[in-house]
């Protein structure tokens, strides 16, 4: 299916690794133009796949000025923005007992603030293109996980903002949706697995709880849904929370 993404300029935060990298590569395959906002050098390698038809902005979105700079650089180079994929973030394990009010506030800000910032500075350009926004959230916002209050608070807020922005941006025909992964094999996930005495056994234990196929979701499967939602092929879909998780969140795991 041609998603009609050719020459569409899409900002992708955290677009150099894991789910973000799969989205960037998938966009390139569709003929789109990725703007990879990620401090990792892998962003340059991904752009090689596009023969340079894209932009790598090697910054971490820590302050509003960072998001503003990313938008300015994009407009300077391409003159337009057709979509945003808010993806960057990390489960930092700041919980009730193993955290502090200060650590909680920092965790929420680190995982949430740049979602708002990037959209805020892009709205004038999204109005012109009638663009689309996809927020990457997490099943932890629905199921809870324990020991990670900051991350889960941010992920829940991302889902709330998806509906809020879908309403606010309706007059401009800007669509806003969220994708909710569960267990996806990414570099961060691999790092977490390696913290267990027997990573392979832990991976098998987790995979056995995923109803569809007893396997992890791939980054490419997340990317396919994101690219559909960012494209005009989903032109009448907005304010939705889409689960791409092999049934993990809602189906009986005894299956």
Report yes or no: 27 and 34 within 8 Å, Cβ to Cβ: yes
* Extended strands (E) in 96-197: 132-136, 175-181
* Extended strands (E) in the chain: 9-13, 33-37, 55-57, 83-86, 132-136, 175-181, 241-244
Nearest residue to 134 (alpha-carbon basis) of 6, 4, 54, 14:
14
Over the stretch 162-177, which tens digit does the pLDDT of each residue have? Answer: 999 999 999 999 999 9
Over the stretch 19-74, which tens digit does the pLDDT of each residue have? Answer: 999 999 999 999 999 999 999 999 999 999 988 899 999 999 999 999 999 999 99
Nearest residue to 86 (alpha-carbon basis) of 163, 189, 15, 173:
15
DSSP 195: T
Q: How many Å apart are CA 12 and CA 70, to the nearest integer?
A: 10
Q: How many Å apart are CA 123 and CA 246, to the nearest integer?
A: 33
Q: How many Å apart are CA 150 and CA 205, to the nearest integer?
A: 26
Q: Is the pLDDT of residue 3 over 80?
A: yes
Percentage of the chain lying above the pLDDT 90 cut? 91
Residue 252's pLDDT is 87
Provide the H-helix boundaries in the chain.
Answer: 18-29, 42-49, 64-78, 101-129, 140-143, 149-168, 187-193, 199-207, 219-230
Q: How many Å apart are CA 73 and CA 230, to the nearest integer?
A: 21
What domains are defined for the chain? 9-244 (3.40.50.720)
Q: Mind telling me the catalytic residues?
A: 151
Q: How confident is the model at residue 84 (pLDDT cuts 50, 70, 90)?
A: very high
Q: How many Å apart are CA 133 and CA 164, to the nearest integer?
A: 12
- Residue 208 CB: number of other CB atoms within 10 A? 11
The three-state secondary structure class of 130 is coil
Q: For the full predicted model, state whether its pTM sits above 0.75.
A: yes
């Amino acid at each position: 299916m041609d998603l009609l993404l050719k020459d569409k300029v899409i900002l992708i935060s955290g677009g150099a690794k894991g789910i973000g990298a799969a989205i960037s590569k998938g966009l390139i395959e569709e003929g789109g133009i990725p703007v990879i906002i990620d401090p990792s050098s892998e962003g340059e390698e991904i752009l090689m796949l596009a023969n340079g038809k894209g932009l790598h902005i090697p910054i971490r979105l820590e302050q509003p000025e960072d998001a503003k700079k990313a938008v300015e650089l994009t407009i300077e180079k391409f003159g337009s923005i057709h979509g945003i994929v808010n993806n960057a973030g990390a489960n930092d394990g700041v919980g009730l007992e193993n955290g502090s009010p200060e650590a909680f506030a920092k965790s929420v800000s680190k995982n949430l603030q740049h979602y708002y910032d990037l959209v805020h500075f892009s709205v004038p350009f999204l109005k012109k293109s009638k663009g689309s926004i996809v927020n990457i959230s997490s099943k932890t916002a629905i199921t809870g996980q324990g020991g990670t209050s900051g991350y889960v608070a941010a992920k829940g807020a991302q889902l709330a903002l998806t509906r809020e922005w879908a309403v606010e941006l309706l007059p401009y025909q800007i669509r806003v949706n969220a994708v909710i992964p569960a267990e996806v094999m990414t570099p961060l996930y691999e790092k977490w697995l390696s913290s267990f005495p027997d990573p392979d056994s832990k991976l098998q234990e987790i995979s056995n709880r995923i109803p569809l196929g007893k396997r992890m979701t791939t980054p490419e499967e997340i990317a396919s849904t994101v690219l559909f939602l960012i494209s005009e092929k989903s032109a009448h879909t907005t304010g939705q929370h889409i689960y791409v998780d092999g049934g993990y969140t809602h189906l009986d795991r005894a299956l």
